[in-house]
Amino acid sequence: MSSQLEQLSEGIIACCKCPRLVAWREEV
């Protein structure tokens, strides 16, 4: 399960670099 957490963490970091997802985070 730790590997899944690592992938999720990497995905979150990538999302932070995505302005489009940043706007989505603001909505949520």
Task: Count CA atoms closer than 13 A to 19's CA, side-chain side.
Answer: 0
pTM of the model: 0.36
User: Cα 5–17–6 angle (5° rounding)?
Assistant: 10
Nearest CA among 5, 25, 3, 6 for reference residue 15? 25
Q: Could you report the per-residue pLDDT of 1-28, keeping only the tens digit for each?
A: 679 888 888 877 776 566 776 676 676 6
Strands of 1-28 (E only): list them: none
pLDDT score, position 2 = 79
Q: Are 8 and 2 in contact (CB under 8 A)?
A: no
